[in-house]
A and B are shown apart, each in its own frame.
Chain A
Amino acid sequence: MSSNIVVRHGTDLREDEIVRYTLKERMCHWVAGFSYLYLLATGLALFTPYLYWIAYVLGGGATIRFWHPWVGLIFLFGVLWMHQMWKDDMKTTKEDLAWRETIKAYVTNNDENVAPAGHFNSGQKTFYWVMFYGTLGLLVTGIFMWFPEWLSQGSGRSLHWVMSLMVFLHCVSALFTIGAFIIHIYMGIFFVSGGLHGILFGRVSTTWVKAHHPLWADKVVKEDRSRVSSSSFK
């Protein structure tokens, strides 16, 4: 390597660091992340009277009812973009099966006994698929909730019950994503030190990668890093 600074996808890289997330991946993550935060806050405001105060904070009930579906489309865009980038990475491998066997050791920080993980560990993949299918569920039900008059007015009562099912399933889908989201926030910010840094700035230390994603580290440190300096600026 000629220089100790390697630029790839808008990322400054030091000698002992690896690009974990490219600029595009990070942008995509935060489009999805921030839109999800808004959807979570406004959705919870409409889910329970105990949290309706959030509606007042965010401009009033009518305001959040107007923006929630539009921000939902931004979130959908983020998720589909992410899917296009990561869907192959998120496939379950036999290493994942081994990792799952040792999940108890992972959760209890008994890290010597955790099976090695690749680019994403099985927990991250599970989170991804919960959010992906949750988003599809929220999309289908949400479109009807955006325009409930399609089902609940005009044609009489024949499709009336479908609308109440849509709202119910929207809540159920949202609750699944919230469960996954709580764990994701905890893992990313608190439990796995350095995780937030990685998704913010894209680069992580090689020691970090070796500790958390050893199979990927084996691959990247040897192969990818040598390629990084010369190619793929796009």
Chain B
Amino acid sequence: MSNGTLEVKAISGHRGGTPGKGVSRDYDVCKLVDTTTCIGCKACEVACLEWNGYEFRDTTFDNSHQTMPDTAWNFWNLIRFDERPSDDGTLQWLMRKDQCMHCADPGCLLACPADGAIVQYTNGIVDFNQEHCIGCQYCTTGCPFSIPKFNAETKKVYKCTLCSDRVGAGLEPACIKSCPTGCLHFGSKEDMLFEANKRVSQLQKNTQWTKAGVYDPAGVGGTHVIYVLGDASNPEAYGGLPANPTVPFFVKMWKGPLKWLGGIAMGLGIASIVGHYVRYGPKGVESAGDQGRAK
């Protein structure tokens, strides 16, 4: 996954320090989506389907550029379209490439009960292993972006892999490769943040996007897909991008205190009855009528 795995750590018969050790940065990967240069061509949607081998879907028409209402188990990448008036009365067409955000603190992984069904790689990719998925869909309750989608036929949940298969082979994700405007970038998180911030200051200085900003929400520990938004004060305008996404409160409570308190309570309960049995023993016996009752 990360180049770090092939970095030389030790060399046999070698005197002194190991050349190359620790010089490479430990890349975590990141997609940068610049919404201000997206033209809504949907090449990324097509590339995603082609690479992952899914069928093209019929589009729906709702008098806008929105081709279908939502992502699906076999449609992981959707351009979300919003048409809204700007302050000067002109229309804005807001396009956002929606897909899994690959959170640093993934709610899906926290909620999942199945051993090995969801993995997070050190390079930041959060991936689903369908062979271990049990179809409970707890992941959908944990995700603040409503990304994992259930296939009722296979009883498994699917989502964008950030092309972990391509990235593992040193390639960029399929969507990135297909983008004709250069609105999509791929690299280390550090580099993408640098590029994003550069673009934001450019927008603020040279365009009407004075409220431009980078979307890298802290509530989920940052994401490995980041956006440059023309108006970062209103992410909801970009196809319902949540302003402050967090793992839902009750998922945290359930997987945190409730799990521990429940476990402790069950353990103490069993310990208590064993203790009680040893201390007081059984109450009477089948034939112990003589013990009876006093009253």
Contacts and interface: CB of A to CB of B under 8 A. Distances in A.
A120 to B, nearest CB: 16
B135 A65 contact: yes
Contact of B146 (A47, A64, A153, A206): A153
B66 to A, nearest CB: 13
From A47, A164, A205, residue with most partner B Cβ within 10 Å: A164
B115 A168 contact: no
Given A152-B146, A183-B273, A211 B293 contact: yes
Contacts of A152: 137, 140-141, 146
B15 interface: no
A163 interface: yes
A46 B71 CA distance: 28
A131 B133 CA distance: 31
A192 B141 contact: no
B70 A207 contact: no
Contacts of B85: none
A161 B250 contact: yes
A130 B172 CA distance: 56
Interface in B220-269: 240, 242, 248-251, 253-254, 258-259, 262-263, 265-266, 269
A192 B113 contact: no
A66 B70 CA distance: 27
Interface stretch (A3-11, A105-113, A219-227): A105-113
Contacts of A114: 293
B218 interface: no
B289 A153 contact: no
B273 A186 contact: yes
Contact of B150 (A153, A160, A168, A192): A153
A52 B248 CA distance: 23
A191 B141 contact: no
B285 interface: yes
| Size bracket of the A interface | 35 or more
Which secondary structure characterizes the binding site on chain A? helix
Nearest to A53: B115
A214 B141 CA distance: 52
Interface string A152-167: 1110110011011101
A50 B259 CA distance: 11
Given A210-B289, A211-B289, A168 B149 contact: no
A148 interface: yes
A190 B263 CA distance: 23
Contacts of B70: 153-154, 156
Contacts of B117: 61
Interface string B174-201: 0000000000000000000000000000
A164 B295 contact: no
A167 B265 CA distance: 19
A108 B280 CA distance: 6
B283 interface: yes
6 closest A-B pairs by beta carbon, nearest first, are A207-B289, A61-B134, A112-B294, A194-B286, A164-B248, A164-B250
Interface of A: 45-50, 52, 55, 60-62, 64-66, 107-109, 111-116, 145, 148-149, 152-154, 156-157, 160-161, 163-165, 167-168, 171-172, 175, 178-179, 182-183, 186, 190-194, 197, 204-208, 210-212, 214
16 contacts: A61-B134, A62-B135, A109-B280, A111-B284, A111-B291, A148-B140, A152-B137, A157-B240, A164-B141, A164-B142, A168-B254, A171-B258, A190-B277, A192-B282, A193-B282, A207-B290
